Amino acid sequence: MIYIERKERFSAAHQLYNPNWSEEQNEAVFGKCANKNFHGHNYTLSVTVKGEINPDTGFVMNLVDLKNIIKNEVIEALDHANLNHDVPFLKGKFTSTEVLAQEIWKILQPKIAEHQAELYKIRLDETLNNAVEYFGD
Ligand code: NI
Protein backbone atom coordinates (compact mmCIF):
# COMPACT_ATOMS: atom_id res chain seq x y z
CA MET A 1 0.00 0.00 0.00
CA ILE A 2 1.31 3.45 -0.88
CA TYR A 3 0.05 6.93 -0.09
CA ILE A 4 -0.09 10.01 -2.30
CA GLU A 5 -1.07 13.54 -1.34
CA ARG A 6 -2.36 16.57 -3.16
CA LYS A 7 -2.61 20.04 -1.61
CA GLU A 8 -4.95 22.80 -2.71
CA ARG A 9 -5.47 26.20 -1.19
CA PHE A 10 -8.55 28.37 -0.82
CA SER A 11 -9.54 31.56 0.94
CA ALA A 12 -12.90 31.97 2.59
CA ALA A 13 -14.86 33.94 5.15
CA HIS A 14 -16.86 32.49 8.00
CA GLN A 15 -18.39 33.05 11.38
CA LEU A 16 -18.61 30.59 14.25
CA TYR A 17 -22.00 31.06 15.81
CA ASN A 18 -24.66 28.96 17.50
CA PRO A 19 -28.08 30.47 16.64
CA ASN A 20 -29.63 28.81 19.71
CA TRP A 21 -27.41 30.81 22.04
CA SER A 22 -27.44 34.41 23.20
CA GLU A 23 -24.88 36.83 21.84
CA GLU A 24 -23.05 36.71 25.17
CA GLN A 25 -22.81 32.92 25.06
CA ASN A 26 -21.53 32.99 21.49
CA GLU A 27 -18.99 35.63 22.42
CA ALA A 28 -17.86 33.61 25.44
CA VAL A 29 -17.33 30.37 23.45
CA PHE A 30 -16.26 31.61 20.02
CA GLY A 31 -14.67 34.96 20.89
CA LYS A 32 -13.57 36.91 17.83
CA CYS A 33 -14.72 34.04 15.58
CA ALA A 34 -18.33 35.01 16.40
CA ASN A 35 -17.80 38.47 14.83
CA LYS A 36 -21.05 39.43 13.04
CA ASN A 37 -19.08 40.84 10.12
CA PHE A 38 -17.24 37.57 9.51
CA HIS A 39 -13.50 37.01 9.18
CA GLY A 40 -11.32 35.15 6.72
CA HIS A 41 -8.73 32.39 6.52
CA ASN A 42 -6.32 31.10 3.94
CA TYR A 43 -6.95 27.38 4.15
CA THR A 44 -4.76 24.55 2.94
CA LEU A 45 -6.55 21.33 2.09
CA SER A 46 -4.38 18.20 1.93
CA VAL A 47 -5.97 15.07 0.49
CA THR A 48 -4.20 11.75 1.02
CA VAL A 49 -5.15 8.75 -1.11
CA LYS A 50 -3.95 5.19 -0.66
CA GLY A 51 -3.78 2.27 -3.03
CA GLU A 52 -1.58 -0.13 -4.88
CA ILE A 53 0.67 0.96 -7.71
CA ASN A 54 -0.95 0.39 -11.08
CA PRO A 55 1.55 -1.66 -13.13
CA ASP A 56 0.51 0.14 -16.32
CA THR A 57 1.26 3.66 -15.01
CA GLY A 58 3.42 3.42 -11.89
CA PHE A 59 0.79 5.57 -10.17
CA VAL A 60 -1.64 4.90 -7.32
CA MET A 61 -3.88 7.43 -8.99
CA ASN A 62 -3.09 10.07 -11.57
CA LEU A 63 -2.46 13.29 -9.58
CA VAL A 64 -4.00 15.31 -12.40
CA ASP A 65 -7.27 13.43 -11.85
CA LEU A 66 -6.99 13.96 -8.10
CA LYS A 67 -6.31 17.66 -8.59
CA ASN A 68 -9.31 18.02 -10.90
CA ILE A 69 -11.63 16.19 -8.51
CA ILE A 70 -10.59 18.38 -5.57
CA LYS A 71 -10.86 21.58 -7.61
CA ASN A 72 -14.17 20.79 -9.28
CA GLU A 73 -15.93 19.21 -6.31
CA VAL A 74 -14.83 21.41 -3.41
CA ILE A 75 -12.41 24.26 -4.15
CA GLU A 76 -14.73 25.87 -6.67
CA ALA A 77 -17.51 26.02 -4.06
CA LEU A 78 -15.28 27.18 -1.19
CA ASP A 79 -12.77 29.61 -2.67
CA HIS A 80 -13.65 33.26 -2.03
CA ALA A 81 -16.98 32.17 -0.56
CA ASN A 82 -18.74 33.05 2.64
CA LEU A 83 -18.88 29.57 4.16
CA ASN A 84 -21.96 30.39 6.24
CA HIS A 85 -24.01 31.64 3.28
CA ASP A 86 -22.65 30.56 -0.08
CA VAL A 87 -21.80 26.86 0.07
CA PRO A 88 -24.67 24.40 -0.54
CA PHE A 89 -22.99 21.49 1.28
CA LEU A 90 -22.50 23.62 4.42
CA LYS A 91 -26.09 24.91 4.65
CA GLY A 92 -27.24 24.87 8.26
CA LYS A 93 -23.92 23.53 9.52
CA PHE A 94 -21.19 24.97 11.70
CA THR A 95 -18.29 26.22 9.63
CA SER A 96 -15.63 24.90 11.98
CA THR A 97 -12.58 23.26 10.47
CA GLU A 98 -13.80 19.93 11.85
CA VAL A 99 -17.17 20.11 10.10
CA LEU A 100 -15.55 21.33 6.88
CA ALA A 101 -13.11 18.40 6.86
CA GLN A 102 -15.97 15.90 7.34
CA GLU A 103 -18.10 17.43 4.61
CA ILE A 104 -15.16 17.51 2.20
CA TRP A 105 -14.56 13.82 2.96
CA LYS A 106 -18.18 12.92 2.11
CA ILE A 107 -17.86 14.62 -1.27
CA LEU A 108 -14.42 13.36 -2.28
CA GLN A 109 -14.61 9.77 -1.02
CA PRO A 110 -16.93 8.38 -3.75
CA LYS A 111 -15.22 10.37 -6.52
CA ILE A 112 -11.78 9.00 -5.60
CA ALA A 113 -13.20 5.47 -5.35
CA GLU A 114 -14.12 5.73 -9.05
CA HIS A 115 -10.36 5.77 -9.74
CA GLN A 116 -9.58 2.45 -8.02
CA ALA A 117 -8.00 4.32 -5.11
CA GLU A 118 -9.13 4.98 -1.56
CA LEU A 119 -9.38 8.27 0.31
CA TYR A 120 -7.21 7.90 3.41
CA LYS A 121 -7.08 11.32 5.07
CA ILE A 122 -8.37 14.86 4.83
CA ARG A 123 -6.20 17.45 6.51
CA LEU A 124 -7.41 21.01 6.66
CA ASP A 125 -5.11 23.76 7.91
CA GLU A 126 -7.08 26.83 8.89
CA THR A 127 -4.08 28.83 10.04
CA LEU A 128 -0.38 28.11 10.40
CA ASN A 129 -1.15 26.86 13.91
CA ASN A 130 -4.57 25.19 13.67
CA ALA A 131 -5.35 22.09 11.65
CA VAL A 132 -7.76 19.15 11.63
CA GLU A 133 -7.20 15.63 10.33
CA TYR A 134 -10.07 13.31 9.46
CA PHE A 135 -9.81 9.64 8.56
CA GLY A 136 -13.48 8.99 7.84
CA ASP A 137 -14.63 7.49 11.14
NI1 NI B 1 -12.17 31.46 11.85
Alpha-carbon distance of 125 to 130, in angstroms, equals: 6
Q: What is the pTM of this model?
A: 0.95
Alpha-carbon distance of 7 to 47, in angstroms, equals: 6
Instruction: Judge whether 126 counts as a catalytic residue.
Output: yes
Q: Please give the average per-residue pLDDT across 89-110, as a whole number.
A: 97
The Å distance, Cα 2 to ligand 1 centre, comes to 34
The Å distance, Cα 54 to ligand 1 centre, comes to 40
Alpha-carbon distance of 26 to 32, in angstroms, equals: 10
Report CA torsion sign: 131, 12, 48, 73: positive
If one counts every other C-beta atom within 10 angstroms of the C-beta of residue 118, the result is: 18
pLDDT tens readout for residues 8-59: 999 999 999 999 999 999 999 999 999 999 999 999 999 999 999 999 999 9
What pLDDT, on the 0 to 100 scale, is given for residue 47?
98
* Domains of the chain with CATH codes: 2-134 (3.30.479.10)
The Å distance, Cα 67 to ligand 1 centre, comes to 25
Of 69, 126, 127, the closest CA to residue 98 belongs to 126
